[in-house]
Each structure stands twice: as structure tokens, then as C-alpha cells.
Amino acid sequence: MRKFALLIISIFLFANISIAAEVGINYNANMVYNVTVEEVEVYNSTTGQWITVTNTPTTFNIASATSANTAIGNMVSNVVLPDGTYTQGRITVSNQFGIKACDNGGTNCTDNTQSLGGHTLATANAGSYAAASTVTTVINFSTVGYPACPATPICYAAGGAELVLTGNISFVVGPGSVPKTMSVSFDVDGVLKYEAGPPAEYITPGLPGVNVSIE
């Protein structure tokens, strides 16, 4: 078994699916979008086994590249993997997202929650970022178009409380292999959606793209 410094599989986190029609969001340093990764696995095609990299839930703020990269790195760095060829990665994401945001005018900001369509969404009644709260929203993944697991590349599990994402990776662990490092950049354009209502003003988590390279 070899030790690899891996920042792994964030490449598969999101699939650019909208929950609500997009209206402008005020993107600035005050915005928060917390995502919880519950498990990270990689597939060893040599042995035909899924290897658990970590199953310790870790929450990170995807709106902050520095914060997110640090959290991902701490989550899976210096993992020890058996020798073999790794061809797939799989992560499990929680359906609970912590968001703090305002509309483009900066006067409709997250302050509480309400139930709507089987989801728990953030109401947008606070008048400024200073008055806004980080609110936990809950999206039922089984109701937004995903198939049930074990479908790939994206499926829901635990009755819609988890999203499982599978994608291709490529690296080899064995004699002479060198540590791998993953570079992560987040596309936060469209990460959150503001809905003016009716029945109420609210902000929902969108699912942003992630650009990742393994070197």
C-alpha cells in the first residue's frame, strides 16, 4: 500500500441542475454556500473493489475557494491506497446546504426557512447581508429528476437524502508511483437561485460546476 497526497473527486460534485428559475444573486465575499461530502471512494480495477478514502462527513464553503480547497485537502490528504489501477471515483453528498446570500439589489437576503414542494428553502426577507443568516436548506434529490441508485453517473440514495456521483479517473498506485495532487477551481456563477415568488421570496441552492485536474 502506498501513501498518496490526493485531493480527490471534487470533479464529480455537481451537475449544473437548477431548482428554481434564476434571478440575479449578489456575489461577494459575504456569500456562504456550505456543502457536506459524506463519503469519498475510488475504484481499484485491478482488484475489482471500491476503496473508501474517507467516510467522515466534511462541510466546506464552496463560495470560498480558499476555504473549500483547505477543507477538501484536509478531508482526503495523505490517504493510503492499495496498489492497482484506479479508474473511477465516487462521492456521496448530503442534501443539506447552508446558504447565506442576497439578490442583486442586496435587499432580499436569507433569514429563515419554509417548506415548498418537498424541500426546505431559505426565505429571503432580511434587508441586507449584515442582517442575513446562514440558513440550512434541504433538497429532496428524489424529486428533482435523478434516478435511484445504483444508476450512474448520478443517482439518489437514502430516500433522496443523499446524492451519489460517479465519474472516471485515471491513476496507478504501485512501485515507482508518485504522489498525485488535485487542483480545484469552483464556478460559482449561478450557484444560488433567487425566486421572487409567489408564494414567497426565497433563495435555493443551485449546483455549480467544478473544474479539477489531477497531476
Average confidence (pLDDT) over 109-125? 91
The answer to whether the bond into 150 is cis (omega within 30° of 0) is yes
pLDDT score for 101: 92
Q: Give me the amino acid identity at 158.
A: A
Question: pLDDT tens across 2-35, in order?
Answer: 444 443 333 333 333 333 344 578 888 888 988 8
pLDDT digits (tens, 9 = 90+) for 47-92: 999 999 888 898 888 777 655 555 666 666 667 788 999 888 888 8
68 Cβ neighbours under 8 A, 6+ residues apart: 60, 61, 62, 184, 186
CA distance 196 to 191: 17
Give percent of the chain above pLDDT 90: 29
Average pLDDT, the chain: 78
* Residue 139, pLDDT above cutoff 80: yes
Under DSSP, is residue 87 helix (H, G, I), strand (E, B) or coil? strand
Helix, coil or strand: residue 149: coil
- Would the pLDDT of 156 be above 80? yes
Lowest mean pLDDT among 49-58, 165-174, 186-195: 186-195
Q: What pLDDT sits at residue 110?
A: 95
Tens digits of residue pLDDT in 95-116: 999 999 999 889 999 999 999 8
176 band by pLDDT with thresholds 50, 70 and 90: confident
Q: Of the spans 35-39, 123-127, 210-214, which averages the highest pLDDT?
A: 123-127
Q: Give the cell for residue 144.
A: 428533482
